[in-house]
Amino acid sequence: MENKSIIQLKNVAKYYEMGDNLVRAVDGVTLDIKEGDFVAIMGPSGSGKSTMMNLVGSLDLATNGDIFLGGLDIEHLEESELAQIRGRKIGFIFQSFNLIPNLTARENISLPLIFQDIEKEEREEKVERLLELVDLKDRGNHYPNQLSGGQQQRVAIARALANDPDVILADEPTGNLDTKTGEKVMTFLQELHKKGKTIIMVTHDPEKAQRYARTIYWMKDGKIERVTKKR
């Protein structure tokens, strides 16, 4: 039996006005991401993949078309309602880590739980489990500038997992890491996929896309040029 759809875009476009020019960052895209898939959105710089990530992750709304998250049409939700659903459904891992510099690793991981109004005791227990999961039990009180790039990315992964989301959305997750550390991060994402998480990775690296993803959307000029799937 085929898995259910978790994210759908139907004829979605995102346009920006730059002076007298209309930039078609995403131009009429339709895609259907199934629960439990490992998806790569692949393309060179300027192909529209970053804009696509924002749309897929419901960080941005479309100019035209419909976006469904877990069967819900998010285009018609209030921002506060959308933020709550996004916070429960999607965990984000960014290339630049996006950790808050004046918060410790432990406090950074706590943030999504605070936004979802999780009680303090449950929050603290969860954060300790996550620190252990990413092998940073002894670094919980360190600030981002006291951690290596790989450690910061592991804090970002733990934060992405805080609310046990259905989808992990990773934007160039190894882009700021050396090769060895990058491999560890990719192995970790692979393990999460084996445990049933839907992974969506935005990348310009065809080797990583083809090695790890089961479905690859190849983008060019704001459109999906082709789709490849592993059997």
Q: Which helix (H) or strand (E) segment is 161 a member of?
A: helix 149-161
pLDDT in tens, 70-128: 888 888 888 888 888 888 899 999 888 899 999 999 999 999 999 888 899 999 999 99
* Most distant pair of Cα atoms in the chain: their distance: 54
3-state secondary structure of 157: helix
pLDDT score for 29: 95
Residue ranges covered by each domain of the chain: 36-50+78-229
Residue 208 exposure: Cα atoms within 13 Å on the Cβ side: 26
pLDDT in tens, 187-226: 989 999 999 999 999 998 889 999 999 999 999 999 999 9
Q: What CATH number labels 36-50+78-229?
A: 3.40.50.300
The residues that bridge with 67 in the sheet, in sequence order, are: 9
